[in-house]
């Protein structure tokens, strides 16, 4: 999946062949110096917490609390990373269970949203549906409300049907949030694939669904991959529903589990930092893989209609 | 091969738009039939209904003797060529051509033979191993045509196949399609909004407007006697001059004094408009015999002809097609004279041909 995304992105015909350095020089030296200075300041401000997190995760505890703070001369340890996965007495730690839960919940909810959303997007793109615009707006409107607003009603509903503190409950709510997103984003991608492929295939002896599967679907794969990654990142990062709807260690996902590490009498900052690094890594990797679609996906929606 | 009968076709989309109001067509076996009309007139929807890509709301479609209303596209034994060529992007030309045959389950040897034949007919030899993105627009359209040919269908449906090509290539392909259709003798329904294409290709032309057929006829019939004011304005470049006339002394007379020979059996009690082709008028010396006084407003020297726009006191300026040898200054007073036979005459209120 990841490979095909990268390939599709690199075949982008629009290329700027001017080297960036020359473009900068063309605008005058004074301005470029100012630009670089401002960008550097911005980068330091933005990246410092990340760097500090990574440093903290490999520092020993007494270096973490050292005053003045030690930037470079500390002893490197991998102990915190071991603590993330292994419980103090041996066996699996609660955090590692939470990570596994996150993988399951994010993976299954994304798969569900994709399986439901892609055919829906195809239908909205291809067929004359009654009140199509209103339907699409209604679908989008379910994303208007922030999760905090709906979490209480959802909580009450879930308690009635017994979905409180279950992975299935989280999977369903994340899928519900991702389906509108998938439909809207995929509709843009489906619109780009000419309907004539399917018409031609139907004349060649395929049914509508076969035509979709054999001709349109392969052309949609890069778009599906990008959309799925967005959905995955949303489910992976989601905090509000996770903390309200789950409580037991065996069900909890990583975000509330990591947050739960803070708040005791002493906080093991090394462990918090190491868990955060482990948590951030998959998102960074996926975001890097779909970086071009990230821009394309966002601007696509902005330009059309 | 087979003729196509379309009876009382009506197509209404779920959102309420009526794409085709009422269309009756009777297309003969082996005929090259053109559907012509502005965008949104229902011509493409009609074609897609014949193909089976749209289900009509009411009405019947017969291909040959078969009622095909409920048949899926694949079972109608037709081939379609699209405006956007719809070649499968991941297949080489050879496989694109073979694709519909393999879908039918023909034996390998026959597939190869038919692909080679179609490739020879459309001169695709050197392109057989390329993928669509390495073909030019014209080449892609030739492959698309070849893909329609290999099927040996009972009818070809063409949905504006030349619209995306540049002008020169379009003229070449037009000749090629006409030649091919003549050679194969297969029924072809051709949809276009380009009147030149329609005139040069069609055995017969159906002019559609707002989901209805305005006129069906040979290119010359359609050109000489448009059945309605819409057809009159749509066919011909520059279009017909529509001149308001009255019947007096057994002649048609315009407000500006232009005199036209009257067609037989004219109704007297209605407001009438005569359709006069630009080539049925001529610019003369002012005061020449049978001429009405006028003034040249502007003129376009096109090389092979001159289109003069003449104000003769009528409600609208008229366009006159003249040989390129005439010389007159813009703004000069001239005479305007009608030279042809009786023009078609329309009723202003019904917009239909009355004589």
Q: Is A218 on the interface with B (CB under 8 A)?
A: yes
Are B256 and B207 contained in the same domain? no
Are A109 and A64 contained in the same domain? no
Are A227 and A120 contained in the same domain? yes
Per the domain annotation, does B300 fall within a domain? yes
pLDDT per residue as tens, chain B (355 positions): 689 999 999 999 888 889 999 999 999 999 999 999 999 899 999 999 999 999 999 999 999 989 999 999 988 989 999 988 888 888 889 988 998 888 888 899 999 999 998 888 888 888 899 988 888 888 888 899 899 888 889 999 999 999 888 888 888 889 989 999 999 999 999 999 999 999 999 999 999 999 999 999 999 999 999 999 999 999 988 889 999 888 888 888 888 888 888 888 777 777 889 999 999 999 888 888 888 888 888 888 888 999 999 998 877 889 999 998 888 777 888 899 998 889 999 998 888 888 7
The predicted pLDDT at position B355 comes to 78
Per the domain annotation, does B265 fall within a domain? yes
Are B192 and B256 contained in the same domain? no
Domain with B290, as residue range(s), is 241-347
Q: Residue B166 burial (CB < 10 Å; 0-12/13-18/19+)?
A: exposed
Rounded CA separation B216/B208 (Å):
9
Are A65 and A37 contained in the same domain? yes
Is pTM beyond 0.90? Reply is: no
Are B68 and B164 contained in the same domain? yes
By C-alpha distance, which of A112, A111, A126 is closest to A216? A126
Asked whether the beta carbons of residue B80 and residue A199 sit closer than 8 angstroms, the reply is yes
- Domains: count for chain A: 2
Are B129 and B182 contained in the same domain? yes
Asked whether the beta carbons of residue A203 and residue B14 sit closer than 8 angstroms, the reply is no
Q: For B85, which residue in chain A has the nearest alpha carbon?
A: A196
Q: Is A202 on the interface with B (CB under 8 A)?
A: yes
Per the domain annotation, does A8 fall within a domain? no
Are B187 and B270 contained in the same domain? no
Are B225 and B193 contained in the same domain? yes
Counting as low any pLDDT under 70, the low residues of chain A are 1-28, 293-305
Which residues have a Cβ under 8 Å from the Cβ of A11 and sit 6 or more positions away?
none
CA distances from A66 to A59, A70, B252 (A): 10, 7, 109
What's B295's domain CATH number? 2.40.50.140
Per the domain annotation, does B352 fall within a domain? no
Per the domain annotation, does B353 fall within a domain? no
Per the domain annotation, does B41 fall within a domain? yes
Domain with A27, as residue range(s), is 18-85
Domain boundary among B233, B258, B285: B233
Rounded CA separation B340/B306 (Å):
18
Are B72 and B150 contained in the same domain? yes
Are B223 and B302 contained in the same domain? no
The predicted pLDDT at position B169 comes to 85
Are B84 and B205 contained in the same domain? yes
The predicted pLDDT at position A296 comes to 61
Are A215 and A168 contained in the same domain? yes
Domain boundary among B233, B251, B273: B233
Contacts of residue A196 in chain B, CB cutoff 8 Å? 82-86
Are B252 and B217 contained in the same domain? no
Per the domain annotation, does A43 fall within a domain? yes
Are A123 and A253 contained in the same domain? yes
What's A196's domain CATH number? 1.10.3720.10
Are B200 and B291 contained in the same domain? no
By C-alpha distance, which of B348, B25, B9, B316 is closest to B187? B25
Asked if the ipTM is above 0.90, the reply is: no
Q: For A132, which residue in chain B has the nearest alpha carbon?
A: B15
Asked whether the beta carbons of residue A204 and residue B74 sit closer than 8 angstroms, the reply is yes
CB pairs under 8 A between A and B: 58
The predicted pLDDT at position A294 comes to 64
What's B40's domain CATH number? 3.40.50.300
Asked whether the beta carbons of residue A199 and residue B84 sit closer than 8 angstroms, the reply is no
Asked whether the beta carbons of residue A200 and residue B80 sit closer than 8 angstroms, the reply is yes
Per the domain annotation, does A260 fall within a domain? yes
- Domains: count for chain B: 2
Are B205 and B301 contained in the same domain? no
Per the domain annotation, does A4 fall within a domain? no
Under a CB-based contact definition with an 8 Å cutoff, are residues B350 and B323 in contact? Answer: no
């Amino acid at each position: 999946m990841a490979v095909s995304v990268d390939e599709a992105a690199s075949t982008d015909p629009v290329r700027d062949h001017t080297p960036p350095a020359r473009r900068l020089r063309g605008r005058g030296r004074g301005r470029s110096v100012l630009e670089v200075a401002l960008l550097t300041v911005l980068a330091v401000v933005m990246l410092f917490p990340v760097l500090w997190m990574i440093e903290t995760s490999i520092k020993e505890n007494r270096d973490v609390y050292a005053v003045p703070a030690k930037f470079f001369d500390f002893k490197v340890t991998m102990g915190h990373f071991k603590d993330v996965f292994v419980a103090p007495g041996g066996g699996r730690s609660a955090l590692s269970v939470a990570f596994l839960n996150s993988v399951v919940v994010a993976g299954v909810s994304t798969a569900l949203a994709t399986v439901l959303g892609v055919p829906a997007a195809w239908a909205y793109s291809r067929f004359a549906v009654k009140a199509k615009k209103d339907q699409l707006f209604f679908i989008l409107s379910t994303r208007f409300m922030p999760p905090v607003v709906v979490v209480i009603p959802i909580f009450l509903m879930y308690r009635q049907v017994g979905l409180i503190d279950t992975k299935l409950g989280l999977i369903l709510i994340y899928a519900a949030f991702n389906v509108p997103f998938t439909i809207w984003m995929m509709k843009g991608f489906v619109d780009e694939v000419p309907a004539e492929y399917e018409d031609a295939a139907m004349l060649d002896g395929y049914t509508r669904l076969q035509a979709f599967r054999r001709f349109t679907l392969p052309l949609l794969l890069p778009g599906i991959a990008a959309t799925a990654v967005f959905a995955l990142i949303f489910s992976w990062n989601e905090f509000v529903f996770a903390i309200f709807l789950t409580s037991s260690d065996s069900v909890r996902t990583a975000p509330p589990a990591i947050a739960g590490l803070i708040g005791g009498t002493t906080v093991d900052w090394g462990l918090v930092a190491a868990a955060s690094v482990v948590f951030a890594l998959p998102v960074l990797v996926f975001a890097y893989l779909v970086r071009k679609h990230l821009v394309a996906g966002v601007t696509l929606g902005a330009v059309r209609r | 091969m087979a003729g196509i009968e379309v009876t009382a076709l009506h197509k209404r989309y779920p959102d309420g738009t009526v794409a085709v109001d009422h269309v009756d067509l009777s297309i003969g076996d082996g005929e090259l039939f053109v559907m012509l009309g502005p965008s949104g007139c229902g011509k493409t929807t009609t074609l897609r209904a014949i193909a089976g890509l749209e289900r009509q709301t009411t009405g019947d479609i017969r291909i040959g003797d078969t009622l095909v209303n409920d048949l899926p596209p694949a079972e109608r034994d037709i081939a379609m060529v699209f405006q956007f060529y719809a070649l499968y992007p991941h297949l080489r030309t050879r496989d694109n051509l073979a694709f519909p045959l393999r879908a039918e389950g023909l034996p390998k040897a026959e597939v190869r033979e038919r692909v080679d034949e179609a490739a020879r007919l459309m001169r695709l030899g050197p392109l057989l191993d390329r993928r669509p993105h390495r073909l030019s627009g014209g080449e892609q359209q030739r492959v698309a045509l070849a893909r329609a040919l290999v099927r040996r269908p009972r009818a070809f449906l063409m949905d504006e196949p030349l619209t995306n090509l540049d002008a020169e290539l379009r003229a070449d392909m037009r000749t090629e399609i006409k030649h091919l259709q003549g050679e194969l003798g297969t029924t072809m329904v051709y949809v276009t909004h380009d009147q030149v294409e329609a005139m040069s290709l069609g055995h017969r032309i159906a002019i559609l407007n707002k989901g209805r057929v305005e006129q069906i006829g040979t290119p010359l019939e359609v050109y000489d006697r448009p059945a309605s004011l819409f057809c009159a304005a749509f066919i011909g470049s520059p279009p017909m001059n529509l001149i308001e006339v009255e019947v007096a002394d057994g002649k048609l007379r315009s407000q500006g004094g232009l005199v036209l020979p009257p067609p037989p059996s004219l109704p007297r009690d209605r407001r009438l408009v005569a359709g006069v082709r630009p080539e049925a008028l001529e610019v003369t010396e002012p005061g020449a015999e049978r001429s009405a006084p006028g003034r040249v407003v502007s003129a376009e020297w096109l090389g092979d002809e001159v289109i003069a726009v003449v104000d003769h006191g009528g409600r609208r300026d008229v366009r006159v097609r003249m040989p390129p040898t005439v010389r007159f200054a813009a703004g000069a007073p001239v005479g305007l004279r009608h030279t042809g036979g009786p023009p078609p005459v329309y009723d202003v209120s019904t917009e239909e041909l009355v004589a």
